[in-house]
Amino acid sequence: MRIESAETVVTSPGRNFVTLRLTTADGVTGLGDATLNGRELAVASYLRDHVAPLLAGRDARNIEDTWQYLYRGAYWRRGPVTMAAIAAVDTALWDIKAKAAGMPLYQLLGGASRRGALAYGHASGRDVPELLDSVRAHLADGYCAIRVQTGVPGLDSVYGVAASGAGSGERYDYEPARRTASGPALPVEETWDTRAYLRHVPGVFEAVREEFGPELPLLHDGHHRMTPIQAAKLGKSLEPYDLFWLEDATPGEDQAALRLIRQHTTTPLAIGEVFNSVHDYTTLLSERLIDYVRSAVTHTGGVTAMKKLLDLAAVYGVRSGMHGPTDISPVGMAAALHLDLAVHNFGIQEYMRHSAETLEVFRTSYTFEEGLLHPSETPGLGVELDTEAAARFPYEPAYLPVNRLADGTVHDW
């Protein structure tokens, strides 16, 4: 089970993905997702130039040792580029081990703890009527939990609202990094107004509850845009609408902010999609300042590290809510689903459907039925990479938008 080759594949079937494919001397292959939205080539270079040369000849079965070798041996620890690269190696090794065992990965993680993983989808609209139509469409698609986002009166484009303008007038789905129509690829710049947002959002949830009743789990993402006191105000104003969670209320690096928010509202809090290490969570978990861990397998060191993080979270009664937008490739999504099925403290799984082009490149076997995701019984992760299809979609520079206040100040998004 010696690693014979490590291939880094960059492809862009509608959006950019970075995939690591490891092959053992006896021909078993494993895949890992290394996509870092808007910074994909940095991770691709890290893998090709610094990680792949270290892997040839290593025993693919020694996953923990390889993880520690790549994390501790480099001296420069953590950071999104390093952790995405380690995640790709780790996930690929778990894929190989499970294939060699002839089992789906979740069986090696302790077996199933549930029938499937409750998933939430992203409903959005430029205004409330359009949002309500989007919620109806998601319910018709089988979702049993819904994230709610809308445009804000007076703002032309709002990140997270699919029907907002994409800077060049076209619709975009979810919130991908966007390509400019001409000239160099530069981030689209959007104007933001937090006070207008805070005035608008409670009325949105009142309308959704009035239309769909009290039982439907509703989520909302603040995209790190608020100060602690603004976030506390929003959480308090949303309490009558019984949210499943309020996500990313403040910038993730300000851990103390969560203390202030907790003092003022009982709305459940989720954070962590921009984190990449268990060390980012220790204060938040030990002081019980959050209710859901939002990291992705892809950005947090892989299956090995994510399992340890979720086990630590379980000690403090905190549940999983793993990041799962379309900038997590189907490989990363499958890895999350195996963990979702196995861990005891599962909460909910974000699930955005990938495009038809993406699914030409990544052949998946996971399923979505009656609101639940299942990784399938296929040995390994249950995802295969079609390299010929991948070659048809070359990399294109693309970036997430930049938010500015009315006076031109760059703002958190």
Domain boundaries, the chain: 2-105, 109-377
Exposed, middle or buried by CB within 10 Å (0-12, 13-18, 19+), for 226?
A: buried
What DSSP element (H or E) covers 372? Answer: strand 372-374
Strand, coil or helix: what is 63?
A: helix
Which residue in 120, 159, 281, 292 is the catalytic one? 159
Alpha carbons 120 and 341: distance in angstroms, whole number: 16
**What is the arithmetic mean of pLDDT over 343-355?**
97
Share the mean pLDDT of the chain.
93
What DSSP element (H or E) covers 118? Answer: strand 117-125
Catalytic site includes residue 338: no
pTM equals: 0.95
What is the model's pLDDT at position 254? 87
Q: What percent of the chain has pLDDT over 90?
A: 84
> Alpha-carbon dihedral of residues 169, 175, 180, 181, nearest 10 degrees?
-40
Of 94, 90, 117, 92, the closest CA to residue 105 belongs to 94
What is the model's pLDDT at position 180? 62
What is the model's pLDDT at position 401? 82
Of 308, 366, 303, 368, the closest CA to residue 336 belongs to 303
Which residue in 122, 138, 223, 224 is the catalytic one? 223
| pLDDT surpassing 50 at residue 223 | yes
**Token digits for 69?**
């070798």
- Residue 22's φ and ψ, nearest 5 degrees, are -100, 140
- CA angle 312-145-118, nearest 5°? 50
What is the model's pLDDT at position 162? 72
| pLDDT surpassing 50 at residue 35 | yes
What is the model's pLDDT at position 171? 45
| pLDDT surpassing 60 at residue 286 | yes
Burial annotation 274-284 (CB, 10 A radius, 16+ → b, else e): bbbbbebbeeb
What is the model's pLDDT at position 181? 59
Q: Report the relative pairing of strands 362-364 and 383-385 from DSSP bridges.
A: antiparallel
Give the count of beta carbons closer than 10 Å to the beta carbon of residue 321: 27
Exposed, middle or buried by CB within 10 Å (0-12, 13-18, 19+), for 233?
A: middle
Q: So what CATH class is 2-105?
A: alpha beta
Of 293, 286, 252, 253, the closest CA to residue 270 belongs to 293
Catalytic site includes residue 223: yes
Do residues 305 and 90 make contact, with C-beta atoms less than 8 angstroms apart?
Answer: yes
What is the distance, to the nearest Å, from the Cα of residue 373 to the centroid of all Cα atoms in its chain?
15
What is the distance, to the nearest Å, from the Cα of residue 206 to the centroid of all Cα atoms in its chain?
28
| pLDDT surpassing 80 at residue 166 | no
Of 56, 17, 60, the closest CA to residue 380 belongs to 60
pLDDT band at 413 (very low <50, low <70, confident <90, very high): low
Do residues 128 and 204 make contact, with C-beta atoms less than 8 angstroms apart?
Answer: yes
**What is the arithmetic mean of pLDDT over 149-153?**
93
Alpha carbons 189 and 139: distance in angstroms, whole number: 32
Alpha carbons 101 and 92: distance in angstroms, whole number: 14
Strand, coil or helix: what is 115?
A: coil
Alpha carbons 152 and 161: distance in angstroms, whole number: 10
pLDDT band at 170 (very low <50, low <70, confident <90, very high): very low
- Computed from CA positions of residues 296, 302, 303, 306, in that sequence, does the dihedral angle turn out positive or negative? negative
| pLDDT surpassing 60 at residue 379 | yes
Alpha carbons 311 and 305: distance in angstroms, whole number: 10
Tell me which fold the domain 109-377 belongs to: TIM Barrel (3.20.20)
pLDDT band at 399 (very low <50, low <70, confident <90, very high): confident
Lowest-confidence region among 26-35, 38-47, 105-114, 403-412: 403-412
**What is the arithmetic mean of pLDDT over 177-196?**
77
What is the distance, to the nearest Å, from the Cα of residue 67 to the centroid of all Cα atoms in its chain?
21
What is the model's pLDDT at position 116? 98
- CA angle 18-351-340, nearest 5°? 90
pLDDT band at 315 (very low <50, low <70, confident <90, very high): very high
pLDDT band at 176 (very low <50, low <70, confident <90, very high): low
What is the model's pLDDT at position 123? 96
